[in-house]
Structure 1
Amino acid sequence: MAAKVEFEDDDGRVVRYVRHANGGGLVSPRARVHEGAMVAPTAYVEAGAQVGDRSRIGAGSWLDYDVVIGKDVVVAGNVHLGARTRAQDGSWIGTGSRVGSDVVIGRGVRIAPDAVVPDGAVVRRRAVRSEFGKAA
């Protein structure tokens, strides 16, 4: 696996990432990911983002620009966190969730799998339900 990856985005700009030592995920050189965090090999962390100690970013997840992840946060697989979103210590974001921009996810909050959280929301309660409800 290459230590550095470059590709051209839709606007023709060259985008560069480095592989995180713990997990091999793709991290912008302008992001800060704690060495004790784990970033899955197919996850992306964009410029300005910060990931705290012992946090885990799952396969296929994408942390957009200026996202801040606290300590002990789990971002499960295939999650998108919109720009400037904050996930406080101990929060958990379920598989397939889509979290808008400028969202605040409170300490210890659990976001259910496949949940959709709108831009600007402040999530302080213990759980956000999936828009799909219960499986049959």
Structure 2
Amino acid sequence: MTVSTERRPTARVDVETIWGAVAQYLPHPNGGGLVAVTARVHEDALVHESAYVEAGAVVGAGASLGASCWVDTDVRVGDGARIARNVYLGAGSRIGAGARIGTGARVGASVVVAPGARVATDAVVPDRDVVLAHDRRPRQDAGTAAR
């Protein structure tokens, strides 16, 4: 077994926003992704080192955030949810427990993804949409494929 000796930063990281303000983040102990100091991420969640979790967001136990994910402000990610790489979760969205969000998906603001529901790879889910676990509408899991 190989043990990594790589040390992740444990101090606050300051990032300048596009508006010139400074946002403060802490690296998550499980994965090293940057978590805003006012966000809450369960210690059992996995936050990839290139993922960001913004202010007011909450990520539940056993959830995972893939590489280059951006969890915007006030998002809730339920226990055991799996968010693939290069995913954007819009402000105020709710991702239910056990939900799966595919690679490259864009989930708009205030979207609700039901527990156990799936959002397809490269899907775009419009603002304020609802994605059900057993959605029978003729859609590609949820959303519209990105172009």
Identity %: 47
Query: Per-residue CA shift, 1:53-104, capped at 9, x if unaligned?
Result: 0000000000000000010000100000000000011100000000000000
Shift of the alpha carbon at 1:129?
A: 6.0
In the alignment, does 2:9 pair up with 1:9? no
Residue from 55, 63, 70 that aligns with 1:62? 70
* TM-score normalised by structure 1 residue count: 0.93
Q: Which residue identity is paired with 1:6?
A: D
Distance 1:90 1:2 in 2: 30
2:125 counterpart (117, 121, 134): 117
| Number of the residue aligned with 1:19 | 27
CA contact (8 A) 1:68 1:86 kept: yes
Give the distance between the partners of 1:5 and 1:61, measured in 2 at CA.
18
Among 26, 40, 45, the alignment partner of 1:32 is 40
Contact map agreement 1:113 1:130 (CA 8 A) in 2: no
Contact 2:82 2:100 (C-alpha < 8 Å) held by counterparts: yes
Q: Which of 1 and 2 has greater Rg? A: 2
- Which position in structure 1 is the counterpart of 2:58? 50
Alignment gaps of 5+ in structure 2: 1-7, 135-140
Distance 2:18 2:122 in 1: 27
Residue 142 of structure 2 aligns with which residue? Answer: 128
Gaps of 5+ in 1: none
CA RMSD for the aligned pairs?
1.4
Q: Could you list the runs of 4 or more consecutive aligned residues of structure 1 that deviate by over 2 angstroms after TM superposition? A: 1-4
Task: Give the residue type in structure 2 aligned to 1:10.
Answer: I
Whether 1:41 and 2:55 are equivalent positions in the alignment is: no
